[in-house]
């Protein structure tokens, strides 16, 4: 069927990295190769610059950019590639976690000088939990950095990956000569003065060929022969099946800024990266090539214009074909909806599209009907799993600072929480509202947006919480559960989905509770 062919063409992925490792630069170079943009500098960096954390204009600017760069699509070698943007800033980690529910694979960027950094570790952990195939790109080879073998060790140790190099550097930093492409058996020569030009790699089916000396000099020739021998001995051979099963991660080296090693990466990516993957619902597994459309909302973006409160809901098409103006079931709301102007995304623009296929991302205009995690189907009553909330890091009471605007405040908070800006907990015993966030910056964003978009004013009060734990009782009628609820009364709240949450003030409290009430399970994630 034609639509199966369309689905088979799609490769939807995210690039994850610690800030500054080169995610934006690599994205841009991939788009250049794909012919989607004509010059460098076209992709705006979607990151909060150092020192700008309390600058509201900066936040607003970021929101604008992050819509523009949310999805970047291009065609390369007959494949349709969708790159999903993932903010590297840790205060937006939750946004990244959610975006990772919509990708079929990821590229992990590591800075050769800095090695494995904190944010990379966290994101790789999430990908491992979700069984997302990973491919690693070691960037900035034009700079002095770690020895390639040491870096492999670090990646294995810190990220727990089983690496299989598919390219290998010749020299590093000021003595960086180029890359040996292990897969294609060819050498790409590096020259730092032709940044945007891409020179053709030289084929080398036999590294012992005497021409190698001539091209890179005898010292480098000897080194690379030796190193490739070690690579062949030490690291497992690449197997696509193992990569797709998340048991093996191919590694590439290069310099995104110098456009070097990027083509090798992209060529390998289109060949080995997975096509759209099946996804679990509460009833069954949905396969991408099913006839009927299904999809889920993984991101909601508020409009920049405060006068029009419409939003853009980003939907990953999981199965079948999405069509403009066709009726679909919004499962949670239990009603039919149709969309007259669904957007598809391209490198530098978004456009209304007639149809989209499994693997694609569409942007639906929303006036407040959607919430992150919502499922759309052709009528089947099922909901996609796997967009859990994690325990926030910060918790504060939110107080209404303008009693005349209580309604606006309620609506504002409700909509911002739908967008996933933060999490709302309502204490059971007194109905006070607590907002939990991943970073302190979000409180300023919320305060600012409530005032400018909803005309409501808030102030905050600290509420010392160590972790939010979602509560699961073996038996809700048991005496033990009743006692737990009575004793912990002041720390029990409901989340947005009315799930019971225990706001524990220390790890000790959690430990004690688990010992005292063994039939009451506590989870750090809302989906269990
Ligand atoms: P991010 O999105 O992961 O946060 O990183 P980004 O691409 O913005 O890159 C961070 C910095 O690293 C940028 O420099 C960028 O030019 C530089 N960079 C990226 N790839 C390479 C590379 O292969 N080699 C070298 N030497 N540098 C690289 P900046 O000075 O922070 O920003 P800008 O002024 O260049 O935009």
75-127 pLDDT per residue, tens: 999 999 999 988 766 767 777 888 899 999 999 999 999 999 998 998 999 89
| Record: fold of 279-377 | Elongation Factor Tu (Ef-tu); domain 3 (2.40.30)
Question: Residue 59 pLDDT more than 70?
Answer: no
* Cα four-point dihedral sign 437, 318, 136, 174: negative
* Predicted pLDDT at 208: 81
CA 228 to chain CA centroid, nearest Å: 33
Tokens of 402: 């303008």
Q: What is the pTM of this model?
A: 0.86
**What CA–CA distances, in Å, run from 28 to 40, 44, 73, 398, 427?**
7, 9, 12, 40, 46
d(CA 502, CA 199): 59
What does the pLDDT look like over 196-206, one tens digit per residue?
A: 555 677 777 77
Ligand 1 center–CA 42 separation, angstroms? 14
Ligand 1 center–CA 24 separation, angstroms? 8
> Binning pLDDT at 50, 70 and 90, where does residue 50 land?
very low
Average pLDDT over residues 376-392: 89
Ligand 1 and 117: CB distance under 6 A:
no
- Out of 3.30.420.40, 3.30.1020.10, 3.30.70.3280, 3.40.50.1400, the CATH code matching 394-523 is 3.30.70.3280
Ligand 1 center–CA 19 separation, angstroms? 9
Residue with tokens 């889920």: 296
CA-wise closest residue to 294 among 376, 417, 231, 220: 376
* Predicted pLDDT at 52: 43
For residue 255, give the ligand 1 atom closest to its CA.
Answer: 23
d(CA 302, CA 365): 10
What does the pLDDT look like over 127-173, one tens digit per residue?
A: 998 899 999 999 999 999 999 999 999 999 999 999 999 999 998 88
Query: What ranges do the domains of the chain cover?
Result: 9-170+236-272, 279-377, 394-523
Question: Residue 262 pLDDT more than 60?
Answer: yes
Nearest protein CA to atom 17 of ligand 1, as residue: 22
Q: Check residues 441 and 485 and name the one with the higher pLDDT.
A: 485
Average pLDDT over residues 250-259: 93
Nearest protein CA to atom 22 of ligand 1, as residue: 140
Phi first, then psi: give them for residue 441, nearest 5 degrees.
-55, -35
d(CA 393, CA 476): 28
Tell me the range of 42-46, 197-201, 240-244, 441-445 where mean pLDDT is highest: 240-244
What does the pLDDT look like over 9-34, one tens digit per residue?
A: 999 999 999 988 999 889 988 988 87
**Is 9-170+236-272 in CATH node 3.40.50.1220?**
no
* Predicted pLDDT at 322: 96
For residue 109, give the ligand 1 atom closest to its CA.
Answer: 3
Ligand 1 and 177: CB distance under 6 A:
no
> Binning pLDDT at 50, 70 and 90, where does residue 238 land?
very high
Nearest protein CA to atom 21 of ligand 1, as residue: 257
**What CA–CA distances, in Å, run from 345 to 99, 304, 452, 478?**
15, 18, 28, 52
Ligand 1 center–CA 22 separation, angstroms? 5
Question: Residue 509 pLDDT more than 80?
Answer: yes
Average pLDDT over residues 43-68: 55
Tokens of 30: 């991939």
Query: Would you call 497 exposed, middle or buried from its count of C-beta atoms within 10 A (0-12, 13-18, 19+)?
Result: exposed
* Predicted pLDDT at 53: 43
Ligand 1 and 262: CB distance under 6 A:
no
Ligand 1 center–CA 20 separation, angstroms? 6
* Predicted pLDDT at 522: 95
């Amino acid at each position: 069927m034609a639509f199966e062919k369309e689905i088979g063409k799609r490769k939807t992925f995210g690039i994850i990295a610690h800030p500054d490792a080169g995610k934006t630069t690599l994205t841009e170079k991939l788009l250049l190769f794909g012919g989607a943009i004509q010059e460098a500098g076209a992709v705006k960096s979607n990151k909060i610059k150092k020192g700008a954390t309390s600058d509201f204009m900066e936040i607003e600017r970021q929101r604008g950019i992050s819509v523009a760069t949310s999805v970047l699509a291009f065609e390369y070698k007959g494949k349709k590639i969708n790159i999903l943007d993932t903010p590297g800033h840790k205060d937006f980690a939750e946004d990244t976690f959610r975006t990772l529910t919509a990708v079929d694979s990821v590229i992990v960027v590591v800075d050769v000088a800095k090695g494995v950094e904190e944010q990379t570790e966290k994101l790789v952990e999430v990908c491992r939990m979700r069984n997302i195939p990973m491919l690693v790109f070691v960037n900035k080879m034009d700079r002095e950095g770690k020895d390639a073998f040491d870096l492999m060790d670090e990646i294995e140790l810190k990220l727990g990956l089983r690496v299989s190099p598919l390219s290998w550097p010749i020299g590093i930093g000021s003595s960086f000569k180029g890359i040996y492409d292990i897969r294609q058996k060819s050498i790409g020569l590096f020259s730092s003065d032709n940044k945007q030009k891409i020179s053709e790699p030289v084929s080398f089916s036999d590294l012992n060929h005497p021409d190698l000396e001539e091209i890179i000099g005898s010292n480098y020739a000897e080194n690379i022969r030796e190193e490739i021998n070690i690579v062949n001995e030490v690291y497992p051979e690449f197997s696509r099946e193992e990569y797709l099963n998340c048991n093996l991660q191919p590694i590439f080296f290069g310099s995104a800024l110098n456009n070097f090693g990027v083509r090798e990466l992209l060529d390998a990516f289109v060949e080995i990266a997975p096509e759209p993957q099946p996804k679990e619902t509460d009833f069954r597994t949905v396969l991408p090539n099913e006839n009927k459309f299904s999809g889920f909302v993984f991101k909601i973006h508020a409009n920049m214009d405060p006068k029009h409160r419409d939003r853009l809901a980003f939907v990953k098409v999981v199965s079948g074909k999405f069509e403009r103006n066709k009726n679909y079931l919004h499962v949670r709301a239990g009603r039919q909806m149709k969309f007259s102007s669904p957007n598809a995304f391209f490198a530098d623009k978004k456009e209304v599209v007639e149809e989209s296929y499994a693997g694609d991302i569409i942007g639906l205009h929303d006036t407040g009907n959607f919430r992150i995690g919502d499922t759309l189907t052709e009528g089947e009553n099922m909901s996609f799993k796997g967009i859990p909330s994690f325990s926030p890091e910060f918790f504060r009471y939110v107080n209404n600072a303008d009693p005349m605007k209580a309604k606006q405040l309620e609506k504002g908070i409700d909509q911002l929480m739908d967008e996933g800006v933060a999490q709302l907990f309502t204490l059971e015993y007194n109905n006070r509202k607590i907002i939990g966030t991943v970073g302190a910056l979000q409180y300023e964003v919320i305060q600012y947006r409530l005032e400018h978009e909803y005309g409501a004013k808030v102030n905050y009060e600290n509420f010392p919480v160590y972790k939010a734990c979602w509560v699961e009782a073996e038996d809700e009628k048991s005496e033990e559960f009743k006692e737990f609820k009575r004793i912990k009364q002041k720390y029990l709240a409901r989340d947005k989905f009315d799930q019971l949450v225990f706001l524990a003030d220390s790890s000790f409290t959690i430990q004690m509770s688990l010992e005292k009430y063994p039939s009451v399970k506590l989870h750090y994630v809302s989906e269990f």
